[in-house]
Chain A
Amino acid sequence: MSGRWWKLAARNLGRHRRRTVLTGSIVVIGFIATTMTAGFVSQTFTGLRDVTVKGLGGEIRLVDPRAAGKTDDEAAAFLLESWEAVARGAAKDPAVVQAMPRLSFFGLVVKGDRSAGYLGTGTDPAMEQRASSLVEAVGEGKFLADPEADEVMLGTGLSKAIGAKAGDLVTVMTTTPDGALNAVDAPVAAILRYPIKELDDRLLYMPYRPASRLLKAEGKASSVVLLLKPGADAAEVAGRIAESLKRDGRPVVARTWLETATFYRQVKLLYVSIFFFMGLILATVVILATANTMTMSVFERTREIGTLLAIGMERGAVRALFLREGMLMALGGSVLGAILSLLLRAALNASGIELPPPPGGTHGAPLHVDFIPLAYLAGFVMMTSTLLLASWWPARRAARLDPVEAIAHV
Chain B
Amino acid sequence: MTEPLLSAERLTRVYRLGEEAVVGVQEATFSVEAGEFAVLAGPSGSGKTTLLNLLGLLDTPDSGRLLFEGRDASSLDETSRARLRREKLGFVFQAHQLIPVLSAEENVAFALWLRELPEQQCRSRARQALRDVGLEGLESRRPGALSGGQRQRVAVARALVGEPALILADEPTASLDSATSERLLDLFVELHRSRRVAFLFSSHDPRIIGRARRRIDLIDGRIVSDVTVSPAGTIPTAAPPSGSGREGTPS
On A, residues with C-beta under 8 Å from B are: 1, 4-5, 8, 11-12, 14-15, 303-304, 307, 309-315, 317, 403-404, 407
CB distance from B16 to the nearest CB of A (A): 14
When each residue 83-96 of chain B gets 1 if its CB lies under 8 Å from chain A and 0 otherwise, what string results? Answer: 11111010101010
| Chain A residues whose CB sits within 8 angstroms of the CB of B83 once the complex forms | 312
CB distance from A11 to the nearest CB of B (A): 4
Q: List 10 A-B contacts (CB under 8 A).
A: A11-B102, A14-B101, A304-B97, A307-B97, A311-B110, A311-B158, A312-B86, A313-B114, A314-B78, A407-B93
Say yes or no: B78 contacts A311, CB within 8 Å: no
| Chain B residues whose CB sits within 8 angstroms of the CB of A12 once the complex forms | 101
On B, residues with C-beta under 8 Å from A are: 53, 56, 58-59, 78-79, 82-87, 89, 91, 93, 95, 97, 99-102, 110-111, 113-114, 116, 119, 158
Among candidates B78, B97, B100, B119, residue contacting A315 with C-beta atoms closer than 8 Å: B78
A312 touching B97 in the complex, CB below 8 Å, given contacts A1-B116, A404-B53: no
| Chain B residues whose CB sits within 8 angstroms of the CB of A311 once the complex forms | 85-86, 91, 110-111, 114, 158
Q: Who on chain A is nearest to B78 by CB?
A: A315
Give the docked Cα–Cα distance between A11 and B99 (Å): 10
| Chain A residues whose CB sits within 8 angstroms of the CB of B79 once the complex forms | 314
Say yes or no: B97 contacts A303, CB within 8 Å: yes
Q: Who on chain B is nearest to A312 by CB?
A: B86
Q: Who on chain A is nearest to B110 by CB?
A: A311
17 other A-B residue contacts (CB within 8 Å) besides A311-B114, A312-B83: A4-B113, A4-B119, A8-B101, A11-B101, A15-B101, A304-B97, A304-B99, A307-B97, A310-B58, A310-B91, A311-B110, A311-B158, A312-B89, A314-B79, A317-B114, A407-B93, A407-B97
Give the docked Cα–Cα distance between A103 and B40 (Å): 104
Q: Who on chain A is nearest to B86 by CB?
A: A312
| Chain A residues whose CB sits within 8 angstroms of the CB of B113 once the complex forms | 4-5
Give the docked Cα–Cα distance between A15 and B78 (Å): 30
Say yes or no: B114 contacts A8, CB within 8 Å: no
| Chain A residues whose CB sits within 8 angstroms of the CB of B82 once the complex forms | 309, 312-315
| Chain B residues whose CB sits within 8 angstroms of the CB of A304 once the complex forms | 97, 99
| Chain B residues whose CB sits within 8 angstroms of the CB of A14 once the complex forms | 101
| Chain B residues whose CB sits within 8 angstroms of the CB of A5 once the complex forms | 113
Give the docked Cα–Cα distance between A403 and B114 (Å): 16
CB distance from B41 to the nearest CB of A (A): 20
Q: Who on chain A is nearest to B101 by CB?
A: A11
Among candidates A315, A317, A403, residue contacting B58 with C-beta atoms closer than 8 Å: A403
| Chain B residues whose CB sits within 8 angstroms of the CB of A313 once the complex forms | 82, 86, 114
Give the docked Cα–Cα distance between A403 and B56 (Å): 11
| Chain B residues whose CB sits within 8 angstroms of the CB of A314 once the complex forms | 78-79, 82
Give the docked Cα–Cα distance between A405 and B86 (Å): 19
CB distance from A158 to the nearest CB of B (A): 77
Q: Who on chain A is nearest to B117 by CB?
A: A1
Q: Who on chain B is nearest to A317 by CB?
A: B114
Among candidates A1, A8, A312, A315, residue contacting B102 with C-beta atoms closer than 8 Å: A8
Give the docked Cα–Cα distance between A108 and B85 (Å): 97
| Chain B residues whose CB sits within 8 angstroms of the CB of A317 once the complex forms | 114
| Chain A residues whose CB sits within 8 angstroms of the CB of B87 once the complex forms | 312
Q: Who on chain B is nearest to A314 by CB?
A: B82
| Chain A residues whose CB sits within 8 angstroms of the CB of B116 once the complex forms | 1
Report the 9 A-B pairs with minimum CB-CB distance, sorted nearest first.
A312-B86, A11-B101, A307-B97, A312-B85, A314-B82, A403-B58, A404-B59, A312-B82, A404-B53
Give the docked Cα–Cα distance between A1 and B122 (Å): 12
**Which one of A5, A307, A317 has the greatest number of beta carbons of chain B within 10 Å?**
A307
Q: Who on chain A is nearest to B113 by CB?
A: A4
Among candidates B53, B56, B89, B93, residue contacting A307 with C-beta atoms closer than 8 Å: B93
Give the docked Cα–Cα distance between A307 and B84 (Å): 15
| Chain B residues whose CB sits within 8 angstroms of the CB of A1 once the complex forms | 116
Give the docked Cα–Cα distance between A1 and B114 (Å): 11
| Chain A residues whose CB sits within 8 angstroms of the CB of B78 once the complex forms | 314-315
Give the docked Cα–Cα distance between A314 and B86 (Å): 10
Q: Who on chain A is nearest to B85 by CB?
A: A312
**Which one of A11, A311, A314, A403 has the greatest number of beta carbons of chain B within 10 Å?**
A311
Q: Who on chain B is nearest to A316 by CB?
A: B79
| Chain A residues whose CB sits within 8 angstroms of the CB of B58 once the complex forms | 309-310, 403-404, 407
Give the docked Cα–Cα distance between A11 and B158 (Å): 20
Give the docked Cα–Cα distance between A403 and B84 (Å): 15
Q: Who on chain A is nearest to B97 by CB?
A: A307
Give the docked Cα–Cα distance between A403 and B119 (Å): 27
CB distance from A309 to the nearest CB of B (A): 7
| Chain A residues whose CB sits within 8 angstroms of the CB of B114 once the complex forms | 311-313, 317
Give the docked Cα–Cα distance between A151 and B176 (Å): 105
| Chain B residues whose CB sits within 8 angstroms of the CB of A315 once the complex forms | 78, 82
CB distance from B166 to the nearest CB of A (A): 13
| Chain A residues whose CB sits within 8 angstroms of the CB of B86 once the complex forms | 311-313
Q: Who on chain B is nearest to A2 by CB?
A: B116
| Chain A residues whose CB sits within 8 angstroms of the CB of B93 once the complex forms | 307, 310, 407
| Chain B residues whose CB sits within 8 angstroms of the CB of A8 once the complex forms | 99, 101-102
Q: Who on chain A is nearest to B94 by CB?
A: A407
**Which one of B86, B95, B99, B101 has the greatest number of beta carbons of chain A within 10 Å?**
B101
CB distance from B103 to the nearest CB of A (A): 10
Give the docked Cα–Cα distance between A12 and B106 (Å): 14
Give the docked Cα–Cα distance between A11 and B144 (Å): 14
| Chain B residues whose CB sits within 8 angstroms of the CB of A307 once the complex forms | 91, 93, 97
Q: Who on chain B is nearest to A306 by CB?
A: B97
Give the docked Cα–Cα distance between A224 and B114 (Å): 74
Give the docked Cα–Cα distance between A159 and B225 (Å): 115
| Chain A residues whose CB sits within 8 angstroms of the CB of B158 once the complex forms | 311
CB distance from B50 to the nearest CB of A (A): 8
Give the docked Cα–Cα distance between A77 and B114 (Å): 83
Give the docked Cα–Cα distance between A403 and B52 (Å): 13
Give the docked Cα–Cα distance between A403 and B78 (Å): 12
